[in-house]
Structure 1
Amino acid sequence: MADISLNRARTIIRKALAHGREKGFKPLSVVVLDAGGNMKAFEREDGASPGRFAVAHGKAYGAVMLGMPGSAQMQRAEDQAYFMACANGALGGQLIPVPGGVLVRDKRGALVAAVGVTGDTSDNDAAAAVAGIEAVNLTAEA
């Protein structure tokens, strides 16, 4: 299984947070999970509420465990609510199926990580994640 380095994970977070500040987003929280769903790195900006870790984690965890970004999970939840409810139950209730959970792929297309961002609108959260991922020359699947 491909993996993401701690250095790249930290850079993704730094660049995602910088993107949010540049765009005037509310304080963000960003988590990077490895391809197995294990936490690699996390940061919560000053002013972000303490519950944001669980939300960022849930966005990234759903993306990596289901192999689909938050936007696709949200569509699936709208189309097949029963499936998503069952998947969420099977995965311990940890899924947050909305934009802001972004898959990270290497140049060969292998899954190496997932990024979860929360704090602003879901679309802005996803944009911050994409900015961080692209800053380390990896491919974002939002």
Structure 2
Amino acid sequence: MPHAAPAGFQHGVTLAAARTIVDATLSKGREMGLAPLTVVVLDAAGQLKAALREDGASLARVDIAWGKANGCLAMGFGARELARRAQSMGPFMNALSDLTGGRAVPVPGGVLVKDGAGAVLGAVGVSGDLSDKDETCAVAGIRAAGLLADTGDAPA
């Protein structure tokens, strides 16, 4: 018998989509020859949906990736916008970090996951290489799942 979510619960990104995102993100990192990556996928409520840390990834990568994704969800925009605001609003970003238990990392590599109508389904955080490269992998993973990636920059 299929499992039905309780009435009223909208979980956002599905487990199937999260698995696709993680696998495609790591695949893109290998294609690009990057350092070992860690990928965290959070659902729309900021709850862990999937996480993988490649062999050789350093110890804090899970927390960094989670912080990149969680910061996006906490503020409602991609990490590039979060990074811009961190430059001009240092005290606010310090408060945000405190309020989130340190899980708001304002650098590229945190990407909101949206459906075709623009609804936020969750967020992906990637850590392991340069932040711009982490972001490239996250976007590839999200697109592989047939979803839209919001990095915090206007779409090109």
SS in 2 for 1:115: strand
CA distance in 1, matches of 2:118, 2:126: 22
TM-score of the aligned structures, taking structure 2 as reference length: 0.88
C-alpha RMSD over aligned residues = 0.9
Query: Tell me, which stretches of 5 or more residues in structure 2 are unaligned?
Result: 1-9, 152-156
CA distance in 1, matches of 2:11, 2:41: 14
CA distance in 1, matches of 2:50, 2:103: 18
User: What letter is aligned with 1:91?
Assistant: T
Give the count of matched residue pairs. Answer: 142
SS in 2 for 1:46: coil
Larger Cα-atom Rg: 2
Does 2:69 align with 1:57? no
CA distance in 2, matches of 1:93, 1:44: 20
Question: Once the 2 structures are TM-superposed, how far is the Cα of residue 89 of structure 1 from its aligned partner?
Answer: 1.5
CA distance in 2, matches of 1:4, 1:90: 24
CA distance in 2, matches of 1:20, 1:56: 14
Q: Is the 8 A contact 1:2 1:111 kept in 2?
A: no
Larger proportion of helix? 1
Q: 1:79 aligns with which of 84, 88, 112?
A: 88
Report what 1:129 is aligned to: 138
TM-score of the aligned structures, taking structure 1 as reference length: 0.97
Q: Is the 8 A contact 2:42 2:50 kept in 1?
A: yes
User: Which runs of structure 1 show a deviation greater than 3 angstroms over 4 or more consecutive aligned residues?
Assistant: none
Pairwise mapping of residues 41-56 of structure 1 onto structure 2 (< 5 A)? 41-56=50-65
